[in-house]
Amino acid sequence: MRPSFIEVDLNILQQNLMLIREHIDNRPVMAVLKSNAYGHGLVRVAHLYEQLGVNSLGVALPEEGIILRKSGISLPILVFGGILKEQIPELMEWDLEFFVLSFEMLNYTEKFCKTQNQFAKVHLKIDSGMGRIGVIAENSKSFIASALDSDHINIKGVCSHLACADDPEDPMTHEQIDRFLEAVSVFEKLGVNTPLRHIANSGGVLYFPQSHLDIVRPGIILFGVYPEPACRRILELKPALTLKSKVSFHKSIPPGFSISYGATWTSKNTSEISTIPLGYGDGYPRYLSNRGEVLINGKRRPIVGKVCMDQFMVNCKYENQKAGEEVIVIGEQCGQSITVEEIAKWAETIPYEILTNLNERLPRNYIN
């Protein structure tokens, strides 16, 4: 019933995956669906990718993995991020793979699985320069050897994360790939099979073919959005998400009339003001106050005044609008478009934040 909602085009998601597969020479794909599939809806998107034959799924939290298992997903699911000891029993119960980040966690996982007569499916996390989680690459030889000596650890993969891959000219990515490959060469030196090697995030997939290795981890590009507004477009990816609303109220205001909290915008002339029933309570950035735009009848309409929790106002200048008129907040209308990358630029942030902030107050409708 709500006039503000998200529309997700499943055909576009399929086309984006096809383009990515062609670009990586049909290597295996782990579809990364963190933060409600970047705002697109975790469960529905996961089922689509399972139908399309991706090799595995990546999530940020055990809870996300459990939701997918409860919804019937049978694909391997890898939980990213730092895992605490007390989370391991549930990870095991729901057949979730997870990162092992340290000797301490490796030893605890081995002891826990031994008492339960279970085998943990893990990916060894190597820090090749991101500086966030994992064993530093230069210190990883004994870590890998200890994991191989463990009786209840099933090493499914060994991985790292690229810090600067959104910039194809940044030399750090090459340095990270070299450090990572040197670290994982230990498997061969020890005479054992090397597990799945993965380091390529969306930037790596796009710009660094040497990072593709055994499986890639595309995230935001699956949804047709580039990691940074300035990223070079090398694939014809299309955004799958449209954020729509409707004009809920319209009025004419005289010169000198102020709009919204703090009276930060005042009309210079007689103006036509439309109210849109959407706000920061839905994850639409308050920082877009007096700087964002929407589309109404194919025309850009600037936001005036501060974005409220549930509403914001736009200036339609001299054009009267009817209640119920369609508003495009993200997406296309009459040949015009407002992209996530553009909104991120207005808000002085990155596209990831714009998408993942779109919360569950907004219904998701799936088409095609």
Q: Which of 34, 121, 156, 246 is catalytic?
A: 34
34 is catalytic: yes
Q: Using an 8 Å Cβ cutoff, are 200 and 157 in contact? A: no
Q: 121-145, pLDDT tens digit by residue?
A: 999 999 999 999 999 999 999 999 9
Residue 36, domain member (yes or no): yes
In the block, residue with structure tokens 């030893």: 107
How far is 68 from 43, CA to CA, in rounded Å?
A: 6
Residue 235, domain member (yes or no): no
Q: Identify the pLDDT of residue 285.
A: 97
Please check whether residues 203 and 84 belong to one and the same domain: yes
Number of domains in the chain: 2
Q: Exposure string (b/e) for 194-206, b if CB count within 10 Å is 16 or more? A: bbbbbbbbbbbbb
Determine what percent of the chain is predicted with pLDDT higher than 70. 100
Q: How confident is the model at residue 258 (pLDDT cuts 50, 70, 90)?
A: very high
Q: Identify the pLDDT of residue 170.
A: 93
Q: Identify the pLDDT of residue 127.
A: 97
CATH number at residue 219: 3.20.20.10
**Alpha-helix residue ranges (DSSP H) falling in the chain:** 10-23, 34-38, 42-51, 62-70, 88-93, 103-116, 140-149, 172-189, 202-207, 340-346, 351-357
Please check whether residues 203 and 259 belong to one and the same domain: no
Please check whether residues 251 and 207 belong to one and the same domain: no
Q: Identify the pLDDT of residue 1.
A: 80
Segment 308-312 mean pLDDT: 98
Determine what percent of the chain is predicted with pLDDT higher than 90. 96
How far is 208 from 128, CA to CA, in rounded Å?
A: 16
Q: What global pTM score does this model have?
A: 0.94
Please check whether residues 195 and 299 belong to one and the same domain: no
Q: Is the pLDDT score of 346 beyond 90?
A: yes
Residue 5, domain member (yes or no): no
Residue 102, domain member (yes or no): yes
What tokens does 344 get? 């991120």
Q: 88-107, pLDDT tens digit by residue?
A: 999 999 999 999 999 999 99
Q: How confident is the model at residue 34 (pLDDT cuts 50, 70, 90)?
A: very high
Q: 261-293, pLDDT tens digit by residue?
A: 999 999 999 999 999 999 999 999 999 999 999
Q: Is the pLDDT score of 158 beyond 90?
A: yes
CATH number at residue 335: 2.40.37.10
Q: Which of 70, 111, 261, 317 is catalytic?
A: 261
- Among residues 31, 21, 38, 11, the alpha carbon closest in space to that of 217 is found at 31
Q: How confident is the model at residue 82 (pLDDT cuts 50, 70, 90)?
A: confident
355: left (phi > 0), else alpha (psi -120 to 50), else beta? alpha
Residue 216, domain member (yes or no): yes
Residue 236, domain member (yes or no): no
Segment 105-124 mean pLDDT: 96
- Answer with the one of 196, 223, 250 that is the final residue of a domain: 223
Q: 189-231, pLDDT tens digit by residue?
A: 999 999 999 999 999 999 999 999 999 999 999 999 999 887 8
Residue 338, domain member (yes or no): yes
284 is catalytic: no
Q: How confident is the model at residue 344 (pLDDT cuts 50, 70, 90)?
A: very high
295 lies in which domain range?
241-367
Q: How confident is the model at residue 316 (pLDDT cuts 50, 70, 90)?
A: very high
Q: 236-249, pLDDT tens digit by residue?
A: 999 999 999 999 99
Q: Identify the pLDDT of residue 229.
A: 80
- How high is the mean pLDDT of the chain? 96
Residue 62, domain member (yes or no): yes
